[in-house]
Amino acid sequence: MGYIFKDKKVLIIGGTGSFGHQFISRILETEVKKVYCFSRDELKQFEMRQKFEDKRLCFFIGDIRDYDRLLMAFKGIDYVIHAAALKQVPACEFNPFEAIKTNIIGAQNIIQAAIERGVRKVIALSTDKAVAPINLYGATKLCMEKLFIAANNYVGEGNTKFSCVRYGNVIGSRGSVIPLWLKAEKEDKEFLLTDIEMTRFWITLDQAVNMVFIGFRSMLGSEVFVPWLKAIKMVNLAKAINSKRPIKIIGIRPGEKIHETLISLEESSRAFSNIDGDFYVIVPDKKMFSRYRNLQINTDFEDYREYSSNNADYLKEKEIKEMIECLK
């Protein structure tokens, strides 16, 4: 799928994070003309510069709250990936307007700058927490999705296109539970689990990057792309790391769900799968289905039911252990 980036200038916002590292590693294997990494952290940019010794990779220091800086960075850019966000649920709950300024106002700044500069395609990264959100982080990502989908109403035919990619927890990303439990195992500590029934969707960084590649290849504007993912029972994850390690149930935290949802019941009537069934596309209106005849296999998503980590296929024990081994 790398052909879609041939001779293109691509900018990734929030590019020094886990996703950004994997995306930049993959896109530099293509015939991309230039890759620009936009972020606030000069140290992380310095470290990335040491890791990727490629003259096609450039770095911009900036903040998505600063519209003028975005406008400057977007000059001459063909494709943009929006991966910047405040993501820690407790931090967003304690600092709500900071989350709003970055995750919502920052998203609007990106949209306006992209339209002003005539960027061809823009994809924003979203999360299952945006579906029926119960915490501020999820609510801000829902607003971001709505902004990006609605942005297509404000551009003419053939101009800037906006879409989103929505997925679950990224395996091994910073602050995720697997590295924390691996650390607890080394330190001979118990595993902390909020609820014995808790389930989550899991995706590898490589799968997340693939989904963005698919989005750029397939998008016509206004879609939310959702990969087909397996879920995991968190207690089984803990046992796979070390079945002899004690598990302490600490109770569900404010803003936390027992199960996450990738496609809601209401969205399911506007969702369809691609030919291979490895991803879904959610559109604002069922009338738009006819635009995707090259992808479409069925217009009814699972007889109109939500796609939840409570009713999804689960990772088997062998798959869980293989996943953990890759992180050690």
What is the per-residue pLDDT across 176-202, written as a single tens digit (0 to 9) for each? 788 888 888 888 899 999 999 999 999
- Average pLDDT score, the chain: 91
| Residue 293 within any structural domain of the chain | yes
| Residue 175 within any structural domain of the chain | no
| Residue 174 within any structural domain of the chain | no
253 band by pLDDT with thresholds 50, 70 and 90: confident
Does the pLDDT value for residue 302 go beyond 60?
A: no
248 is known as an active-site residue: no
| Residue 296 within any structural domain of the chain | yes
The domain containing residue 128 runs over which residues? 2-168+202-229+262-307
| Residue 130 within any structural domain of the chain | yes
Strands, E, within the chain: which ranges? 9-13, 34-39, 57-61, 79-82, 121-127, 161-167, 169-170, 191-193, 199-203, 224-227, 231-233, 247-249, 261-263, 271-273, 279-282, 307-308
CATH number at residue 293: 3.40.50.720
| Residue 193 within any structural domain of the chain | no
| Residue 270 within any structural domain of the chain | yes
pTM: 0.93
Domain count, the chain: 1
Annotated catalytic residue, options 9, 121, 129, 233: 129
| Residue 217 within any structural domain of the chain | yes
Q: Closest Cα partner for 81 from 145, 125, 25, 34?
A: 125
Residue type, 190: E
